[in-house]
Amino acid sequence: DPQNHQMEDTGSLGRLNCRAKGGASGFKVAILGAAGGIGPASRLVDEDEPSRLPPPSIRRQQQLEEALTGMELVIIPAGVPRKPGMTRDDLFNINAGIVKTLCEGIAKCCPNAIVNVISNPVNSTVPIAAEVFKKAGTFDPKRLLGVTMLDVVRANTFVAEVLGLDPRDVDVPVVGGHAGVTILPLLSQVKPPCSFTPKEVDYLTDRIQNGGTEVVEAKAGAGSATLSMAYAAVKFADACLRGLRGDSGVVECAFVASQVTELPFFASKVRLGRTGVEEIHPLGLLNEYERTGLEKAKKELAASIQKGVTFIRK
């Protein structure tokens, strides 16, 4: 983010120095899956990347370990994207294994790094990451975050359109998870305070929950959202780094190990600090529409979380 950080490719594979403007300390950030649609701004580790070294799996393993050693923040957009007609869960069979392998590398090479999981289905890949870390004895719930920032970016954009405001002046909490009905915008808590007609609530909820599918269909087989996700990923990574730097009042929505509901993971507003997630905000007052949405979200989320846990424990 040019406004807040000077980012420089150090030339060494998988490493990016991210120096807070005016701050003395730098942060080491790795992006895994960086040659894909989301990551090209910082091409780092990617299994399809041509190399001077002989290819197969040993090189990939060395490359991964070299990229991860000493990292303080690891961002994971590695994996396949959707095509029209697919749900995010349809990506599970391929992406679950990819996230598992990468998290095993993180547990070995940078167990204290903050991890931002972008790879879908986030509702399952975050529990997968947690199980891998638990197995390795390195799990710290404060350091594992599923990236739901794109839902917030979309929600702010669509709500701003309806209100006739600049999206930068709008704050919509989006809780739950990152797929269909699990994406739950809390329109009763929008800042600045405002009200919507029932028709607007239906329109906005549907548009926010299906924003990803809208892009997948528009791209007609060429993948899913990339530029908007790259924007959201940088915005979220920047928030994590500002937290690590010790800035106060850094609050964003993320899918984390949580006790705000009976589920083991849930997305809600979290305060980021030097140790990662330092506080998880409660959901606040929900209206009847949101309470109904929450029940639907929890049902689907429970199954997706269990699927991820079972994948590692089986």
Instruction: Using the minimum distance from each CB to ligand LMR, give the nearer residue, 204 or 244.
Output: 204
Under the criterion CB under 6 A, does residue 116 sit at the interface with ligand NAD? no
> Is residue 172 within 8 Å of residue 187, measured between CB atoms?
yes
Q: Which residue sits closest to ligand LMR, CB atoms considered?
A: 212
> Is residue 250 within 8 Å of residue 243, measured between CB atoms?
yes
Interface pick for ligand NAD out of 16, 20, 30, 46 (rule CB under 6 A): 46
Q: How far is the CB of 285 from ligand NAD (least distance, A)?
A: 27
Amino acid at 246: G
Under the criterion CB under 6 A, does residue 150 sit at the interface with ligand LMR? yes
Q: Given the rule CB under 6 A, which of 21-29, 199-207, 221-229, 234-242 is the region that contacts ligand NAD? A: 221-229
Q: Given the rule CB under 6 A, which of 48-56, 105-113, 130-138, 207-215 is the region that contacts ligand LMR? A: 207-215
Name which of residues 114 to 133 contact ligand LMR (CB under 6 A). Answer: 120
Which of 78, 133, 128 is closest to 104 using CA atoms?
133
Count of residues near ligand LMR by CB under 6 A = 11
Which of 303, 308, 283, 305 is closest to 294 using CA atoms?
283
Name which of residues 64 to 93 contact ligand LMR (CB under 6 A). Answer: 81-82, 88
CA distances from 67 to 28, 29, 106, 125, 207 (A): 10, 9, 10, 21, 38
CA distances from 205 to 90, 209, 238, 242 (A): 23, 6, 27, 30
Under the criterion CB under 6 A, does residue 148 sit at the interface with ligand LMR? no
Under the criterion CB under 6 A, does residue 225 sit at the interface with ligand LMR? yes
Contacts of 204 (CB under 8 A, 6+ apart): 155, 158, 159, 162, 185, 187, 196
Under the criterion CB under 6 A, does residue 36 sit at the interface with ligand NAD? yes
Q: How many Å apart are CA 25 and CA 28, to the nearest integer?
A: 10
Binding region for ligand NAD (CB under 6 A):
32-33, 35-38, 45-48, 77-82, 91, 95, 98, 101-102, 118-120, 122, 147, 150, 178, 223-226, 229
